[in-house]
Structure 1
């Protein structure tokens, strides 16, 4: 009686390659995280938080901000875990790519904020300058008007001061001075003409 040697089972194509492929513990954790495994996320955090912080710190060069961005990265990893594709690279590389992108975004955001604050400060400075300029010009004009009032007759000056400094209407000026309305209008007209000529205003 003879015994036949058992036929060697033919290996699946590529099986040897798969067996020789190095293990990726981070990838295994990430795939479990994609299924909502919180314990796996704890392990993933321990495995990659340090390298993530290192990448972020090299970009930001600010320890406080780096810690904050590191936390943001890990939250994003938790949310985006189902999108990880092992065919495109290692899990660790995928996580560190997210970290680098987040850090660059923070730098750009900070720069944009600085630029906006600079523009606002410049605009406020210009506005303050304009306000000061207008105030100075107004005071100079007011002083010039007061000096120019000296060229008026007493009656003209009295009418102009009541109408334009006292805020009275022409009729009220006439009542205060006890003179006809037409006389008030004539005094005001002649007085303003003399003020215009004295101040060099072109009609």
Structure 2
């Protein structure tokens, strides 16, 4: 139940542990006339899982906003390392990121700037893992095209020869 609601295995394990701690700390909360222990425990797990997903979504929104703000901040006040990178590719990459759709940019920013795995991005955004993977694939392909000046097809043909 927890894994299905949370998607993220670690988060689901935490939810189940919290549910068992609830039972351990206050066994009087279970009322036999209202159903079996397993039904009650599954209900507790479900409620805790939904709460955990809501917390994660709130954190995801904050993380995405912070990552986006960091991207803007890097443009306005680059440090020495960022300035060096910006001298080579930074400006071009930022421009290319702004060419992506909002959904593609969100998964790329969370993955590359936020440091999240695709599974974590899926859990944070509430989007199925397959959709996250396809958005990442499309975004990386689009970025490659934008950053190589549209020469991706020429390069692919050269690799096939």
TM-score for the superposition, normalised by structure 2 = 0.42
Find the structure with the greater CA-based Rg: 1
Q: Comparing both structures, which one devotes a greater share of its residues to helix?
A: 2
